[in-house]
Structure 1
Amino acid sequence: MHDLEVVEICAGAGGQSLGLERAGFRHRLAVELDTNACNTLRANLAHPEVVRQGDVADHEVWDPAEHEGVDLLAGGVPCPPFSIAGKQLGATDERDLFAWAVEQCEIVKPRALMLENVRGLSMPRFAAYRQHVLDRLISLGYVGEWKLLHASDFGVSQLRPRFVLVALQEEDASYFRWPAPHPEKAPTVGEVLYDLMASKGWPGAEAWAKKANKIAPTIVGGSKKHGGADLGPTRAKRAWAEMGVDALGVADEPPGKDRPIDWTPKLTCEMVARLQGWDDGEYKWKFTGKKTSTYRQIGNAFPPPVARAIGEAIVAAFNHEGEPEERIIPSVDPIYQALRDADDYLTPAQIARIARRQLPLEDLERHISILNRDFEIDTRQSKSGPSYKLLSFKAFTGQEDHVRHEAFQLALPTIS
């Protein structure tokens, strides 16, 4: 088999980059918006010249047509449009690039597509969005599948659920298997960080490591909209406190021998990187920039061991390992599908019959209202009641006149 190549979009500081390299992919291109993350990529990738900085949807930054036929198109497109902690604006969020990334399959024609995002995208709110993505992939000759993966299942000492889309061309899709969880439990925070916590002679390191006997809550890198680095929202801070960690900020260095045994330490960026799956061996990586920037790069990353596991599963599918299995595209949102397949307006009774789902009018209207966040839906009112027709998808997929462009430029100083 030829050397496998990947074009990576929204590459961040390289968690996915490193994992895919360990899975056997060489970077043909890595595109990222943030200056500090680009500097980190250039400091670590074998060929730093492949790094391009700028808006990934800008043709002056890169031309997708120049990379037609690459083995893998991968990326960690922005999470805020789907985050449970945000407004979940989805297709109307100027940072949403998920649908745009899927659309690049028509131009790039990669052998496989891999996109990761937050757990929020797996929620019922985005059922129709996900169905649209699967439908579009089918029309382009790909079979796609979603999976919620937990970093702790792959040896990473952190909860960190990530929602991943993998799509392959039809001849390879039947050989794809999601990677199986590691048989051993993920190590605890204390086990992973003891040597670093004890490195400056702190006498309380051993007792602390015994107290830190769980895996970490999800590490949140945050954005430029907020202040300095800390370890997450209130609920996460409580979990850290139970493990003897001060989550109100990040330390410059581990506690020294002058600190009392019962000291409550903060984590350093090096410690946070360990909890994301980087280490001093197989997953060694050098971060550039000041402390807050470095923390954000680490906290927003995709854990390298998880990216590697998915990358290896894609390689196995390329090699047609194992017995082929038929991939069945699930019906995610039958009401959306009923409207999608209709040539004309549908009444509630018609929707119920087609979708095989009887809903009170109030519930149907609520469902239509949710669909209307991501899709244009026209509603007609008559004496007999409302009828509905699905029109266009609101998401940015490359349209030159899309409102995304102006909104993106206005928001650019705070996007990270």
Structure 2
Amino acid sequence: MMKSVELFAGAGGLAMGVALAGFDTLAVLEWDRWACDTMRENKNRGYPVVRDWPIWEGDVRSFDWTAIPEDIDLLAGGPPCQPFSMGGKHKAFGDQRDMFPTTVGVVRTLKPKAFIFENVKGLTRSSFANYYQYILLQLEFPEVIRRNGETWPDHLKRLQEEKTSGALHLNSLTYNVVPTLVNAADYGVPQKRERVFIVGLRADLGVEWSFPQPTHSFDSLLREQWVTGEYWDRHEIAAGERPEMPARLESRIRRLSSELLPSEEAPWRTVRDALRDIPDPRLPESRMYRNHRFQGGARAYPGHTGSPLDLPAKTLKAGDHGVPGGENMMVRDDGTVRYFTVRESARLQTFPDGYIFHGSWSETMRQLGNAVPVALGRTVAASVAARLAETQINRLMGEGVKKRA
């Protein structure tokens, strides 16, 4: 079985996706006590996938890497996003929470065959253009270390010169790095969540890799809702109870209705799709679901209007102001709003219902707002696993040919 290590694991979304893709997890590292409590509680309950995780609570920079063999198959994780998030202070390298230098150091130490790192869309902003390129080049050439006293712009210049010269490509640890801005809704997650994935495969493996093609689309959802009506039929919503067609989408819907063949992609999954079989948290039968408790006080105001039922949810928020601000709420059929429960939010992040979150409502919502959707993590990791397995098979076949010769 292929081996993986998880950095900055949070509540375990990406790590679970990686494990579901077939990797054996050698270490799961996270510094936040509440997130570690969540993973430990599920581990102690014997929850599948996580029950054998070696969870280490603490600073990644203090971990003893001699316990992990070099040449593992995959290093994955989500370095803290606050230095680059839209709600952060945008300090990048000047932010002490920037863990990309540490991440590059772990790549240099472990020399994994591949890595998968996830971060916020804000990393790609024009104001971060040079630093984003700096991150990518460090991951491409992790052995070109920043010298004592060297500024990051000077280090960037030296990395650019190394890349242009091509001198390092054959003799040093290098990676073919593929950065991709992804909308999770395009991969079956019931949430419009845009994130950057930085995937690298070690250059000596000779592996070519590209990000998996989208499996779901907005057009397919519009077709089911406004051309065939299959969406409303599936949810048993009678014709007279259905909302009006959005005027701003009429021309797009007319185009879809005139196309002879529907898209091969499945429709985006909506909030209604994700939550159709879970009762309202104020009903007695809701008690059979863990983490499904009603949270009062939701209200809508400009900039915080919540998520309509018949679209993927807006991006779940984390941090001091995200949850109180009100975006982590649903807009019901009658136009009123209420907060998503922890369990509902977990479904929007594609965590299984049996996975329990530890802490208060605000704390668990912070964990969920920071998480990688499990299904998306699995899709990316499975794609990388397939390419690594193909490489290993080709190598074994080549060795067999040599022996016979």
In structure 1, the residue matched to 2:51 is: 46
Conserved 8 A contact 2:38-2:356: yes
Question: Which secondary structure state, in structure 2, belongs to the residue aligned with residue 318 of structure 1?
Answer: helix
Whether 1:143 and 2:176 are equivalent positions in the alignment is: yes
Instruction: Provide the rounded CA distance (Å) in 1 between the counterparts of 2:351 and 2:310.
Output: 20
In structure 1, the residue matched to 2:133 is: 131
Instruction: Provide the rounded CA distance (Å) in 1 between the counterparts of 2:116 and 2:335.
Output: 45
Query: Given residue 188 of structure 2, which amino acid in structure 1 is its aligned partner?
Result: G
Q: Deviations over 1:275-306 (max 9, x none)?
A: 111233xxx42222232222211121000011
Whether 1:244 and 2:332 are equivalent positions in the alignment is: yes
Q: Deviations over 1:54-104 (max 9, x none)?
A: 11112xx33267432211111111001111222211011000001320232
Query: Given residue 55 of structure 2, which amino acid in structure 1 is its aligned partner?
Result: V
Question: Which secondary structure state, in structure 2, belongs to the residue aligned with residue 104 of structure 1?
Answer: helix
In structure 1, the residue matched to 2:266 is: 184
- Distance change (3 Å), C-alpha of 1:159 and 1:176: same
Instruction: Provide the rounded CA distance (Å) in 2 between the counterparts of 1:117 and 1:277.
Output: 18
Conserved 8 A contact 2:281-2:341: no
Question: Which secondary structure state, in structure 2, belongs to the residue aligned with residue 305 of structure 1?
Answer: helix
- Distance change (3 Å), C-alpha of 1:304 and 1:173: farther
Conserved 8 A contact 1:155-1:186: yes
Conserved 8 A contact 1:144-1:167: yes
- Distance change (3 Å), C-alpha of 1:36 and 1:108: same
In structure 1, the residue matched to 2:401 is: none
Instruction: Provide the rounded CA distance (Å) in 1 between the counterparts of 2:362 and 2:201.
Output: 38
Whether 1:174 and 2:207 are equivalent positions in the alignment is: yes
Question: Which secondary structure state, in structure 1, belongs to the residue aligned with residue 134 of structure 2?
Answer: helix
The structure 1 residue matched to 2:101, chosen from 99, 102, 125, is: 99
> How much does 1:38 deviate?
0.9
In structure 1, the residue matched to 2:64 is: 62
Conserved 8 A contact 1:134-1:143: no
- Superposed CA RMSD: 2.7
In structure 1, the residue matched to 2:287 is: none
Structure 2 residue runs of 5 or longer lacking an equivalent are 44-49, 142-172, 216-264, 285-306, 395-405
> How much does 1:194 deviate?
2.8
Q: Deviations over 1:308-334 (max 9, x none)?
A: 11101111221237xx9xxxxxxxxxx
Query: Given residue 183 of structure 2, which amino acid in structure 1 is its aligned partner?
Result: H
In structure 2, the residue matched to 1:306 is: 376
Instruction: Provide the rounded CA distance (Å) in 2 between the counterparts of 1:279 and 1:159.
Output: 19
In structure 2, the residue matched to 1:349 is: none
Instruction: Provide the rounded CA distance (Å) in 2 between the counterparts of 1:310 and 1:14.
Output: 15
Counting only pairs closer than 5 Å after superposition, residues 16-415 of structure 1 correspond to structure 2 as 16-42=14-40, 43-44=42-43, 45-48=50-53, 50-58=54-62, 61-63=63-65, 66-139=68-141, 140-172=173-205, 174-182=207-215, 183-198=265-280, 201=283, 212-222=309-319, 226=320, 230=323, 233=325, 236=327, 240=329, 243-244=331-332, 264-280=337-353, 284-320=354-390
- Distance change (3 Å), C-alpha of 1:20 and 1:66: closer
Structure 1 residue runs of 5 or longer lacking an equivalent are 203-209, 246-260, 325-416
Conserved 8 A contact 2:4-2:73: yes
Conserved 8 A contact 2:178-2:210: no
Instruction: Provide the rounded CA distance (Å) in 1 between the counterparts of 2:111 and 2:126.
Output: 30
> How much does 1:173 deviate?
5.4
In structure 2, the residue matched to 1:6 is: 4
> How much does 1:13 deviate?
0.4
Question: Which secondary structure state, in structure 2, belongs to the residue aligned with residue 270 of structure 1?
Answer: helix
Question: Which secondary structure state, in structure 1, belongs to the residue aligned with residue 115 of structure 2?
Answer: strand
Instruction: Provide the rounded CA distance (Å) in 2 between the counterparts of 1:277 and 1:148.
Output: 19
Instruction: Provide the rounded CA distance (Å) in 2 between the counterparts of 1:138 and 1:159.
Output: 30
Query: Given residue 8 of structure 2, which amino acid in structure 1 is its aligned partner?
Result: C
> How much does 1:137 deviate?
3.4
TM-score scaled to structure 1, two decimals?
0.63
In structure 2, the residue matched to 1:356 is: none
Instruction: Provide the rounded CA distance (Å) in 2 between the counterparts of 1:211 and 1:136.
Output: 41
Question: Which secondary structure state, in structure 2, belongs to the residue aligned with residue 20 of structure 1?
Answer: helix
Conserved 8 A contact 1:287-1:294: yes
Query: Given residue 4 of structure 1, which amino acid in structure 2 is its aligned partner?
Result: M
Q: Deviations over 1:213-243 (max 9, x none)?
A: 1111100121xxx37x727x57x47xx56x2
Query: Given residue 70 of structure 2, which amino acid in structure 1 is its aligned partner?
Result: E
Query: Given residue 93 of structure 1, which amino acid in structure 2 is its aligned partner?
Result: D
Instruction: Provide the rounded CA distance (Å) in 2 between the counterparts of 1:264 and 1:106.
Output: 48
Conserved 8 A contact 1:156-1:303: yes
Instruction: Provide the rounded CA distance (Å) in 1 between the counterparts of 2:110 and 2:214.
Output: 31
Conserved 8 A contact 2:79-2:100: yes
- Distance change (3 Å), C-alpha of 1:67 and 1:244: same
Conserved 8 A contact 2:2-2:73: yes
- Distance change (3 Å), C-alpha of 1:138 and 1:34: closer
Question: Which secondary structure state, in structure 1, belongs to the residue aligned with residue 60 of structure 2?
Answer: coil
TM-score scaled to structure 2, two decimals?
0.64
Question: Which secondary structure state, in structure 2, belongs to the residue aligned with residue 216 of structure 1?
Answer: coil
> How much does 1:267 deviate?
1.7
Query: Given residue 296 of structure 1, which amino acid in structure 2 is its aligned partner?
Result: R
